[in-house]
Structure 1
Amino acid sequence: MSIRHPIVAVTGSSGAGTTTVMKSFQHIFRREKLNAQVVEGDAFHRYDRTAMRVAMKEAEDSRRQFSHFGPEANLLEELEALFRDYAQTGRGRVRKYLHDEIEAAQHGQDPGTFTRWFGIEDETDLLFYEGLHGGFAGHGIDVAQHADLLVGVVPIINLEWIQKLHRDKNLRGYSQEAVMDTILRRMPDYAHYICPQFSRTHVNFQRVPTVDTSNPFAARDIPTADESFVVIRFTHPKGIDFPYLLTMLRDSFMSRPNVIVVPGGKMGIAMQLIFTPMILQMIDRKRRAV
């Protein structure tokens, strides 16, 4: 953790809602005129798209557990080094993963590849990470210890499966059987390396649908935000103005002394109300230290 060079990390699997979190933080950074170094977790995968297919086939042939959720498929030592170096100096080495044709064309490369490593620009106000392993700790690596604000974003597991099934079937053309195989293959790594991160976070956002998701493999539609609640848990609730949040977020309520439940459609505004003062406190401490 660092006063001079704060780090905000959002951890959660693909489709969990981390994109909503990123947009909420981007609104905060733009409104408060903050220069944030954004780091995507995909940039710290060990393999590009083609090499990952080969590695997965080799793991399958040898009956070895392997997935993007586990440490073997990621550069977690390099990720911790980035967090550590940034916390100490405000600098570090990053790269980008080129997801699609548009991103690839901007760099003159193929989609599914990485750019070269490059140094973080000087004079950033903070580092913002969004990906799978912002709260990782294990195998002699502790990424989580360097985050000044660690946020978990996770839907209940059946909802996560529904989202993956619909995305991979409709957007990527996979069969339901292939998606189910992927879910089952990832489960050991999800249980061992993703779930424990949500016990290290400062704030968790868990989306809970209010419709029947008991058989995710038969669900025809993804539950909408208006068909959901978001359970927000604070590890350290001291200093959180719950009466203010309850007033500003209509139809919200407290379920425990450190938990507020808000309508799913208000997740974005809840994030801005909660995180804006936290970010401003970080920046105030940074400027006082400088």
Structure 2
Amino acid sequence: MHATTLALVGATGGAGTTRTAVELAALGARDGRDVAVIDAAFTTQGLAEYVTGRIETDCTALVTDDTDAPLSTGTYPIDVDGDGGDDGRSGAEGRSDTSGDQLPGRADAVPARAPFERLARAKTAAAAQKLERRIDEAATTHDAVIVDAAPVGSNEAVAAVAAADRVAAVYPATTRGRDALQRLRGRIADVGESVDEAIAVARTSGTGSGSGNSESGDGVTLPATDPRVAAAPTAATGTGAYARAVADAYAEGFGTTVGVEFPDPGLVDRLRP
């Protein structure tokens, strides 16, 4: 097996990249695929909020102290049903099969949760090379791999972009977000890669200034949704506009088709933005 790998790169901090990565993974699992999300946003370490159980070996350890350990030792199930269950074990051996209870596929995470000393070592160029190898390793055990990366300005973000088959930029669906998207395109071009997909994330009411939805055909726009970690992933079971948009983003990002069937939207749904 060698999966398609997708680097999901935020155009700005707080663009919604990690949440989008989790939603894409859940949608893929709903479609019967085994999907891994690898945290390459070492500074924010937001992916850890979406997993179940204790995190012992994490992504930074896999590229520094535990380079000979299999990727499975730092792999944890994404909490697709929001119960935060913990069976007292960790890693692949402690997978509680939370995703398997509801979804035909698997949604896994390789999160970063590290003290400052290890975090500093994980951000070196040598560690970035090991991260690229970990991404390749994930592609041998999963049907699809998503790498959650911060704006390209760190060794780990560059490694994510370089290792991935495809690159998707995530940006706020505002005027400033569109400006940031153009800057990100330039940064990615500087490292010899290009953006294959753009995903605009609409802000919820009262969370920022600027226009709501993207006004261009740059890619998929994800409608505003509940921003709380406990509300994710909506795409695991949702049938509304947000889940439909995530399915479109998955199909475009991975260059594939999605077999998830959604009921026809009613009149009220069609009138919503």
Q: Quick check: which one's helix share is greater?
A: 1
- For normalisation by structure 1, the TM-score amounts to 0.41
| Structure having the higher Rg | 1
- For normalisation by structure 2, the TM-score amounts to 0.43
